[in-house]
């Protein structure tokens, strides 16, 4: 009997919230299949495609990448703007658990 090997998931099968956020904010960066063209988005931001793929795979984005994507979203026709509030959960995982309580004032 042959051992069963687990099926390797594709990136699209295991995408997280960061991928869905970027996909929703950059509708002009859709592939022919309708998915986010990460390689094109990365290249147009001056990054190697692996830089953005790494962020998407981990659901974590480094500050310089976040800053560039925010700026790019505001300058790109057809893009919906991204703000810091959108990216804080991916720049600072656990932020919502450790931030100061909202003032009652």
Q: Burial, 64: exposed, middle or buried (Cβ in 10 Å; 0-12, 13-18, 19+)?
A: exposed
**Predicted model pTM:** 0.78
- Asked if 90 and 55 count as a contact pair (C-beta separation under 8 A), the reply is yes
Cα–Cα dist 41/55, whole Å: 13
- Asked if 46 and 68 count as a contact pair (C-beta separation under 8 A), the reply is yes
Closest CA to 62 of 92, 29, 18: 92
3-41 pLDDT tens trace: 666 555 555 555 789 999 999 999 999 999 999 999 999
Q: What is the pLDDT of residue 100?
A: 76
Q: What is the pLDDT of residue 36?
A: 95
- Asked if 47 and 65 count as a contact pair (C-beta separation under 8 A), the reply is yes
89-98 pLDDT tens trace: 999 988 777 7
- Coil vs helix vs strand at 80: coil
């Amino acid at each position: 009997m042959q051992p069963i090997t687990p099926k390797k998931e594709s990136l699209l099968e295991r995408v997280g919230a960061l991928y869905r956020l970027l996909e929703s904010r950059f509708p002009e960066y859709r592939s022919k299949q309708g998915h986010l063209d990460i390689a094109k988005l990365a290249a147009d931001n001056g990054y190697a495609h692996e830089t953005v793929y790494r962020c998407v795979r981990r659901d974590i984005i480094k500050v310089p990448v976040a800053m560039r994507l925010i700026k790019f979203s505001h300058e790109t026709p057809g893009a919906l703007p991204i703000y810091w509030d959108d990216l804080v959960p991916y720049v600072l995982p656990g932020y919502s658990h450790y931030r100061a309580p909202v003032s009652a004032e």
